[in-house]
Amino acid sequence: MSRWGGGVSGRRAAAAAVALISVAGLAAGPASGSGSGADITLPWRVAALSVNLAGRPGNGVGGATASVDGCRVAFDTSNLILKAGSPYDDGDFGMYVRERGSDRTRVVSSDRARHPAYGNYWGQVSGDGRYVVMVGSYSSLTPPGTDLSRWVLRKDLRTGRVETSRMPKASGPATGLPLSGAEVQAVSADGRLTAGEVWFMSADRHVVVSRIVVFDWVTHRWSMLGSYGAVRLLQAMSADGRYLAYTAADSAWDERELYLLDRKTGTTRHVGRGPAGAVAVHYHTQISGDGRLMVTTWNRKPETYDMNVVVQRTSDLAVVNSVHDTWLGGATAVSYGARWVLLNFARADGSGRADVYRWDRQTGRRVLVSVTRDGRPPAGNSMGVAVTDDGATVIFTSHAGDIVPGDTPDDDVTTDTDIDVFAATTSAARRCG
């Protein structure tokens, strides 16, 4: 249930990963897939998911997430892809869900009468595929007479019901500061819990305070986790909401330290050493759906091109296995049971472009996933979004315009104007009903 495109989620995490890959790609990287998975029949079947009414890529995707089975994919875009003449940009984001079983796309940021309300983004689909949670400002989805403050909204895809919750008020050192932003970074598998962070900022922008928050849609209560600080960023949450990984810093210029919070025991552990006990810089973290393993991308200090992806047990932070490669860009998604991890690698041609590989932790094999329909590496950056527990379905986003016919190439590998969402499947992939 990762969020990549522009993540996590979303955009924040993807930007960091692209920066790492772009630097690494100035020299060299793996020229092709490092072997093939034990149960994989190549080539991958690739299909565009963020398509318009004509079935052509709609472009402009900001981020994407997927249900555990990969059958429902949520994404936001400012292009009105379900209106005639699309794609065109109205400058305001809307949330969409692609049903892979029926090849149907629908607007999620709409009321029960199916009236669309834009200005909704940072969406996350629950692991069971029933709910989409998103951030929004004042619209027809929020209570009448509300102001422009940010809201969290949950859409029940089964009934069409939209629930809303206003962001929590500031307290402690943030008292008196207006709410300046909110980000939804994770949702529990059953859709009950929503996690992210809220930001409070003075009018002159000299004081910024943030905090990790969790909202319970059953009790309708906010939980403020950890402490207030200049930087508090949620990285990941397990499917049941027990484990949360987040980074913290006392100022925008300080190194961000990684922490793992166990909501069941109330304990928080500092994960500050990196691979093999070396002092390291943390970049981004994933937690497996079952909560057993944490997958983190590190760079040694002082920073070098030597990236590390380290897999640790959440119970005792013991290292299970790791990947080290000079041109490794990082891990962007992990399957529910953590056998499969999506990795980004820079290319050997010095272009700075990045490709998605599926790493099998049991065999150590890596397989190139982000390919065109005829099996070539595409002409643009790609980022992993999700991988199913059987490893046979991968969701990814890409700037490339040549993955499927009719797409628009992006004019820059690090901008998000022409990003689309794709599904890559093998012959072993389960069918979506």
Q: Residues 317, 271: contact at Cβ < 8 Å? A: yes
The pLDDT assigned to 332 comes to 95
> Which amino acid is residue 401, in one-letter code?
G
The pLDDT assigned to 16 comes to 43
Q: Nearest Cα to 220, choosing from 242, 243, 193?
A: 193
| Bond preceding residue 302 cis, omega within 30 of 0 | yes
> Which amino acid is residue 302, in one-letter code?
P
The pLDDT assigned to 54 comes to 80
The pLDDT assigned to 432 comes to 94
The pLDDT assigned to 216 comes to 97
All domains of the chain in start order, with CATH: 4-425 (2.130.10.10)
Give 326's contacts (C-beta < 8 A, 6+ positions apart): 24, 27, 28, 305, 306, 307
- Long-range contacts of residues 303-307, Cβ cutoff 8 Å, at least 24 apart: 305/23, 305/24, 305/27, 307/20, 307/24
Tokens standing for residue 411: 């004019």
Per-residue pLDDT of the chain (433 residues; tens, 9 = 90+): 555 443 334 444 444 444 444 434 333 333 333 333 333 445 799 999 999 888 888 888 888 999 999 999 999 887 777 776 555 555 667 889 999 999 999 888 876 666 666 666 778 999 999 999 988 765 667 666 555 567 888 999 999 888 988 878 788 888 888 877 788 899 999 999 999 998 888 888 888 889 999 999 999 999 998 888 888 999 999 999 999 999 988 776 677 889 999 999 999 999 876 665 666 778 889 999 999 999 999 887 766 666 789 999 999 999 999 998 878 889 999 999 999 999 999 887 878 889 999 999 999 999 999 999 888 899 999 999 999 999 999 999 999 999 998 887 765 544 556 889 999 999 999 999 8
